[in-house]
Structures are given as C-alpha cells and as structure tokens.
Structure 1
Amino acid sequence: MDSDTLQAFQNELICSICMNYFIDPVTIDCGHSFCRPCLRLCWEEGRAPMCCPECREISAKCDFNTNAALKKLASLARQTRPQNINNSHSICVLHKETKELFCEADKRLLCGPCSESPEHMAHSHSPIGWAAEECREKLIKKMNSLWKINQETQNNLSQETSKFRSLADVRNVSARADLAQMQKPQPVNPELTSWRITGVLDMLNNFRVDNALSTEMTPCYISLSEDVRRVIFGDDHRSAPMDPQGVESFAVWGAQAFTSGRHYWEVDVTHSSTWILGVCRDSTTADTNIVIDSDETFLLISSKRSNRYSLSTISPPLIQHVQRPLGRVGVFLDYDNGSVSFFDVSKGSLIYDFPPSSFSSPLRPFFCFGCK
C-alpha cells in the first residue's frame, strides 16, 4: 500500500469533530460516522433538532449502536501509529531506553529492563497501545453510565417543571372551584388552601423592578360591577354610577410601561381591604373617567360585600376561593409569553395566573386602594 493510499485510509478513520481516530464510533441515519461522546456533546449543546454535524440532515433518533468494524480499524490504527519518542518522560532515566510497557499494578510506564527488575517482575505488563485501548474502553463505559444518569435527571427535571406549571394553570383553579361546589358547602365563601411553591420568590426576584409604581396618587371614586366584568373609576362620585359598591379611593399608575421582557414587583395591601392590582393597556392612563373591561386588562380585585371579603378577576370573570393576602402581593408580567401572575409574598404561594394571551399594546402597572 503506497503512502497516499495509506493516508487516505487513515483519514477515513478520523472523527470530523475531534479530528482524532474514532472512539466508540457510531454511524447515524445519513451515513456519516462520529465518536459517540463527540456526537452526544455536539447534540447536547445544539439541543433540537438533532442534525448531522457534516451534512446537517436531521436525525430521527438520538442513540445508535456502535459500529464494531469501524471501532476495530480505528483501534488498530492507533496502536500502529508512530509513538512520540522525543518526550523526555518516555525515556527511562536509568536504562536510557524507551518506555513501551505499562505496569498494571503501579499504573506506570516502564522500559524493558525495568519490567524485568525485582520491583516489577511479578506485576502484569502490557504494550502501551493495548493498555491505552483498555483504558479507553473503561472510560467509555463510565461515560455511557453518566450519560444515562444525565438523561434520567433531565427527564425528572422536565416532569417537575410540568408539575410546577400545572400549579399555575387556570384549569386547576376551575377544577378546584368545581370540587368545592360538589362538596355542597355552607352558604359562605369556600376557602381553599394555598401551598407554598419552594423557590418561586427567589426566581421572581431575578426580574424585580424597583419603584414600579409612581409616587403620585390620584383621588378617585371606584365602582365594581356585579358580574365582575367592569371597573369604573373617575374623579368624582358621578363618574361611578353604581353607588352601592362605590368606594372612595386613590389610584396609582406605573412609573413606566412595558413592551417586552419579564418584570416583577410587589405592593403592600396591608392597610386596605378594597384594592385593585395588576396591569392595564397604557392608553387608558390618559382618561380622567375610565371604564376598565377585559381588553388587555389583567387585574386582581379585593372587595368587601356583606362583611365578606373576596378576590376576583376581570378576564375571565372569576371569584378566587383562596385566603385574601394580608401583606404584600407580587405581580409577575412576562410580556413575551403573554402571562400575568399574582403571588402571596408572605406565603410564597400562587394566587392566580391569567391564561396565556398575546399582548399588542404597552402595559402599565396599576394599583388602586380604597379608604375603607
């Protein structure tokens, strides 16, 4: 075999990712071959879809059997390639000969005379190339084991993430409300337990907005319709005709409007039993007398009727059967994903998460609190 042909043959045994002879080679759907560890790392960084690093063809599966023939040829090529003898560590200082043997007991490289010395005579020795192949096989087995553990961990994490998201799913809220009705409660507002979500506040604080609300308070008169679909407030009593539920209040708008990104802020509701908190379309801030309906308005409302407190939302109109928060309420706006959520800060629990929407206008924080 001439040198050019030999070189071409050896090139076919080289992984195009690491540019070394194949280690545990696999051949994917398109016919190209790579080291299994190289391919896994490449696909792990790229996530989906899984494409061939050479031709970019999408692969239908992510795991393949070892190409045994290619593995054997690559192993022979490694063992027969010239060794680097210029390294001073490869020359025995005592005998001035190349260290070509590996001592299994001491895990050391030895020259021929050293392997026959009394110190090493009883130990098992093997050629460096063969020993290197053995070590590679052991390493590959450990890597495969770690890879399986990593995949199991990722699957478990995905399941836990799905469980967390289900806690913020409005369908769960509806299911809990239906369950409360099935239990035939007494004529009082049913109150369901809110569970603490571990780590949720730490996560939300990564998106905290300081001074989200303006320091200017506007006196107004607020009224909530019976069907919990509209909120009317203005600068005098006449602007809020639904007198039975009317409350003298103060309104505070956000210091800025949001058009993208994730934002979290908290509001203290300790000193007010009647309040409205959330985000509204920015254009509503220019009106003196405003009717807030369900058009890009996401509000959580605390109200008192017949000496009973309740929480409700506008869109969709829904009474929240959870305990009214007595401290701070957190608001999380994920503009890009169309999400608005409310949290009871003292309990670290979710109050309500609006169904996903598509925002088209700037949204500005809003807070209105009553005098009684």
Structure 2
Amino acid sequence: SNPGLLQFTCSLCVKYFIDPVTLGCRHSFCMPCLCLYWEEGQQPPRCPVCKGTPHQLSLKTNIILKTRVFLARRTGPYDVPRSAEKMCELHGKTKNLFCKVTKEVLCLVCHMSAEHGAHTHCSVEWTAEEYRQSLLMIMRSVWEKIQENKRNLNRETNKIRTWEKNHTEYWKMFYLAYYGEKHRLEKIEEESREIFQQLKESQYNMDLKQKLLKQIYEELKELCYKPDMELIQVRTESVQLHMPRPVVPQLSAWPIPGLIDWLNQFQVTHCVPVFEDLRCLLAVPDGPGVNYSSPRYKYFLAWGAESFTSGRCYWEVDVAGCCNWAIGFCNDSWTRDSDMVLDSEGVFLLLCIRENNQCSVFTASPLSPQYVKRPLGRVGVFLDFDSGVLSFVNVANSSLICSFLSCSFSSPLKPFMCSGHS
C-alpha cells in the first residue's frame, strides 16, 4: 500500500475517511467508526490509538481533512483502480459523467447527444460525494434514534427492576396491617402482573429495534465506502425509524371506604394552607434552601417544631395547583444541611416533579419512581413510628399512593413540606 495514503485512512476501518473527526490527541477517525467503537467499548470513551481520554465528546467534522480526502479519492488509486473505469463501447471513451435524469453513466460524446443534450449532468466523483453526504445525513438521524432507543430501553429495564422489587409490597403491608382489605389484593396483583407483562414486551421490542437500527447504521456505513462508480448505482430505500413507545405504568387508585375517618383519629395538624406550628423559609435563587431545577422557581420550605419519636400521627397538605412539591418527614440534621440532598439518610418524602410538561411522582430516599396517578388535591401523611411505616394517601378518593416499609427510624422525625411556584 502507498504510505502517503495512510494520512487519509481511518485506523479502525482502514479505508478512506468518511465524515472525519479529529480528537484532542490529533488522531483522526471516521465519525461512524468512532461512534460504534465507543458504543461497544468500556467507559469512559478513549482514543482507539493512544487510549487517551478526550477533553470533549461532542464530535465535529474536520472540514480540512474531509476536503483533502475528497481530493485524494480523485487522484489516488486506493478506491478504484484505473482498469476498473468503465469505457463507452460506442465511442471508446471513459464514462465519467452521470445523467441525473436517466441515471446513466456517460462519456463526453454521449452526454452531448440529442438524447442527453437537454439533461443535467455531473461528474461521477461529485455525484458520488453527494450520495455519501446524503447517506451520512441519514446515518446521523439513525444514530440519534439509536441513542434515543437506548435511553428508553434503559428506562424500561429500570422500571422492570423497580416493579419486581416492590410493586405490591407496600399495598400488602398497608391493607393487611391497617385495614384488612384482603379481597382487594387479588385485583391489585392481577393489574400489577398485566403491567409487568407490558413492560417485558416493551423491553423486548426495544431490544429488537436497537439491533435493527445498528444493522441499518452498519449497512449505510458500508455503502459510504463503496467506490464512486458502484455508489452512484445504488438505490437506497427509505429508512423506517418508527420507535417503540415506552410503557407508562400506572396502578389504579383503589378507594378504601372509611380510610380517611380511620386516619383522622391520629391527626395532629389541620389541613394546610399554612402550618401554624411550622417554621418557614422562602428559598430563592442565591439564597439558602434546596437545589434548583430552574431559576424561575421560588421554593417555600416548612418543617415542624415538634418531633415524633413514637406512636402514630397523621396530617394533610393541599397540593392543588402546584406541580413541584415534597411532603413527608425528615430528621433534624437534614433540616440543618444547606444542601438538603435527597439521597441523605433520615429523609422520607413523597415528591412531585414537573419535567417536560409532565408531572411524575417519586419517593426519597432513595429516589425511586412511583407509578401512580399524581394527586391533585389533599395528600395525607401517616406515620407509624414504632412499626417503621410511613404512608401517603390521596384524600380525594380515599386511596393509598405509596408507603415506606420496614424503616428504621433511628432519630426523631419532623413533618416537612416544600412547594415550588414560578
């Protein structure tokens, strides 16, 4: 091989660069080759040659190198030997022009004939380069879909793990321990199995889609490497990029007759607005309080002066009209922590977080998604300190939202709430 051509070839595919990118270490690769190498390799991504870690992972086409590669294709024998050039049988001249109307390769004399004289023509080299750029545009779109599907697949897998771990345990504990609603558990179990099956099917479909998308990407990449004369005669079919939609699991709200009346016997404070017995703090940007998802929000924080070390207690808060809030119990040390990290010990919260015009329900700590419908009115908080159980209920329909089970409340707990308003 010609050593001079090495500066125009990718060390991963050992072919002329297509869409070349150059890392900070000055090593260059085809962008598709590097993307696939990083996708299948270990993290963090490293240079395939020197194993150095790139300072930035956003890849941009090296325009100068791309231009040099284009010129090298025209002059070098690397891609197409001269003997492979097509000759016109009628005129004995090289076919180096492409008719965009009839899609034929012509010689100079043919393209001036009466049949082709009024048609648009372009050199084979330029036509092939246009095809490559068109293929690369499709590949970028396919790669975005690969990454989108990968994120969805990871989320679906996490949903399945969460579902397997605790999808009905808190229901069983609450129903059996506090209300004896055994007859509802069969319906809850049946619904949970159906949702779990939907998640497994969704995961399977996304896994198949991921393999199909990668196959399409690899095939398009190989087309880009074809010699000019072969490339311009390839007809690519439209790429179907319809993506499997993630399952949004949601357990039904099962009303429990008499639940609120039973809980009210443990009530220690009246329904908010305003915790008269709570200390309050308005958290604004550049001030104390919590971490902010957006500077547009102001957060109202409140926690009780009274701590609980035993027994049962119940209180309610109205979250109507609020999309960002946190309700529950916390220990003294967390309220004194300026960071108020949700993964800290001694934090037992139900959170509603708005993101991308969608409100999702979580519990902390640890931060875990809860697949229930967001409450729109009053939320009840029931603490059984001695049994290590904390439950949240939707007061409007007298149903359970979720529970913390088998907790070890090792320190006094205070009622806590945080609401965000734009």
What TM-score results when the alignment is normalised by the length of structure 2? 0.42
Q: TM-score, normalised by structure 1?
A: 0.47
* More helix, by proportion: 2
